[in-house]
Amino acid sequence: MTATSVPLQTAPPRPATPRWYADAGGVLAASSMLVVVALWVGNRGLQDFGMTSLGRLTGLIASDLLLLQVLLMARIPLVERAFGQDRLARWHRWTGFSSFWLMVVHIVTITLGYAAAANANVFGELWDMIWTYPGMLLATAGTLLLVLVVVTSIRAARRKLRYESWHLLHLYAYLGVGLALPHQIWTGTDFVGSAASRAYWWTLYLVSAGAVLVYRIGLPAWRNWRHRLVVTRVVPEGPGLTSVYLTGQRLGELPARAGQFFQWRFLDGAGWTRANPYSLSATPNGDQLRITVKDLGDGSSRVARLQPGTKVLVEGPYGKLTGETYTGGPVVLLACGIGVTPLLSLLGELAYAPGEATLIYRARTESELAFREELEWFATHRGVRIVTLLGPRGPQASWLPGNLAGHTDALPRIVPEITGAHVYVCGPEAWTESARAAALAAGVGADRLHTELFSW
């Protein structure tokens, strides 16, 4: 291995995202709920309170949460930088389930209210609403799609689905939202009778739709046209582990940083439409990119068979596991399995002094340790301390192997300077949560603890 095989060029400096961005985003989201309730009150929500009025309120809040959910995962760069993928994914999940159950309450209470007013059978009234009210057939179709998305988002169901299948089904949420909401515009009291309500909802609809069109479709299309990525080399790194090297045009202008990931589509035949998330495993240096993929399914198994010259489509970069908040001093990186890839790229970017960086690398067996030569290079040329923790998981949840799981003080014993260090953690969800808890217990400040989950 030569020194040039380990890219050490630091990414162009970018100012850290101000903390008040996240606070402002939270305030705006909470304010939208207050606006919805205020508009409902202004449209006689309290004066006419009953089943129908309650149905209106739950429907409006469900709609607001649905649109906020769309904005959370619209890949808006400012939002991504302010909150990070971990927090956005958790909030997306919470708003999704909350809006779904509020939608169920909306359907039940509206139907009961209309049936009571007409002195009609509840099921007959529901059937009549679906077939005769403007937009209700579309709303029914949208609701069924949202039910499909919610059911496949339950953890037990997700474990039985391939990532590619789950991702494709999840995209139907956009269609479900688009079909479920228009009936409010055509028949909803809070649209028909209030100019303020119409202004608010049309603004939220247009902002949500615009964010999807610009950041999920327009920006990726423009970046792919501009950078035109292509596979140059495919290198086996170990059992079931493959690195892919890519080049393209104007890569120095691609705003990618060590620690981030892209959604990748390799144009090598059938299945190219399904995107898979892979992190950069080397510091982007303006000339090439590298990802390293573990064979975990249909999409990842194809990577080992890629040929040089294969064209590539990407979405991204995404993720907040970057060095933008690193202020110097000790740095500790905790990796489990394939989670070592973004941390390896960070080792090449962070400006630590010799002896200030420690990589703790967790794997089941020695044969699963990847990038041995690169890690040796970092140890020799940049003074990185490499600590490997080998062994199967124990019966209790722990970031340590089973034979060490009882050592709750293991982290400060391995890294005595952990309290004042910047700590980066990446791995499977349960392991990452355990490692994060261990770092907090060791005295690491929350503002110095950076995580990225390998889950979906």
How does strand 357-363 pair with strand 331-336? parallel
- Are residues 303 and 240 in contact, defined by beta-carbon separation less than 8 angstroms? no
Residue with the larger pLDDT of the pair 234 and 144: 234
Distance, CA of 246 to CA of 229 (rounded, Å): 6
Closest alpha carbon to 99 in 70, 66, 131:
66
- Return the CATH number of 331-453, one of 3.40.50.80, 3.30.2320.20, 3.80.10.10, 3.40.50.1000: 3.40.50.80
pLDDT at 5: 47
Query: Each residue of 141-199: pLDDT tens digit?
Result: 878 877 777 777 776 666 666 666 666 666 667 777 777 777 776 666 666 667 888 88
Stretch(es) of the chain classified as CATH 2.40.30.10: 228-318
How does strand 357-363 pair with strand 385-390? parallel
Residue range 408-437: mean pLDDT, rounded: 91
316 Ramachandran zone, left/alpha/beta (phi>0; psi -120 to 50): left
Helix (H, G, I), strand (E, B) or coil at 243: strand
Distance, CA of 26 to CA of 45 (rounded, Å): 26
CB within 8 Å of 173: residues ≥ 6 apart: 69, 96, 145, 146, 149
Distance, CA of 392 to CA of 430 (rounded, Å): 14
Stretch(es) of the chain classified as CATH 3.40.50.80: 331-453
Distance, CA of 175 to CA of 143 (rounded, Å): 10
Residue range 239-260: mean pLDDT, rounded: 91
Q: How far is CA 324 from the centre of its chain?
A: 19
CA-CA-CA-CA torsion sign (424, 323, 445, 27): negative
Distance, CA of 124 to CA of 108 (rounded, Å): 13
pLDDT at 160: 67
CATH topology of domain 228-318: Elongation Factor Tu (Ef-tu); domain 3 (2.40.30)
Helix (H, G, I), strand (E, B) or coil at 77: helix
| Residue 270 confidence class, pLDDT cut points 50, 70, 90 | confident
- Write down the number of H helices and E strands in the chain: 17, 11
Residue range 236-260: mean pLDDT, rounded: 90
| Residue 1 confidence class, pLDDT cut points 50, 70, 90 | very low
Helix (H, G, I), strand (E, B) or coil at 244: strand
> How far, in Å, are 96, 113, 124, 180 from residue 143 at the CA level?
13, 20, 19, 6
pLDDT at 2: 40
pLDDT at 13: 45
pTM for the model stands at 0.79
Number of alpha carbons in the 13 Å side-chain half-sphere of residue 15 = 4
Q: What is the CATH number of domain 19-222?
A: 1.20.120
> How far, in Å, are 33, 99, 208, 217 from residue 211 at the CA level?
20, 20, 5, 9
Stretch(es) of the chain classified as CATH 1.20.120: 19-222
Residue with the larger pLDDT of the pair 300 and 72: 72
- Are residues 423 and 439 in contact, defined by beta-carbon separation less than 8 angstroms? yes
Q: For residues 175-198, b (16+ Cβ closer than 10 Å) or e, as one string?
A: ebbbbbbbbbeeebbbbeebeebb
Q: What amino acid occupies position 398?
A: S
> How far, in Å, are 86, 132, 440, 452 from residue 433 at the CA level?
11, 51, 11, 10
Helix (H, G, I), strand (E, B) or coil at 28: helix
Query: Each residue of 34-50: pLDDT tens digit?
Result: 888 888 888 877 877 88
Asked which of 115-129, 148-162, 271-285, 364-378 is least confident by mean pLDDT, the reply is 148-162
- With pLDDT > 70 as the criterion, what percentage of the chain qualifies? 86
The residue written with tokens 């062994």 in the block is 391
Residue 235: strand pairing partners: 243
329 Ramachandran zone, left/alpha/beta (phi>0; psi -120 to 50): left
| Residue 93 confidence class, pLDDT cut points 50, 70, 90 | confident
Residue 3 has pLDDT above 60, yes or no: no
Number of alpha carbons in the 13 Å side-chain half-sphere of residue 285 = 17
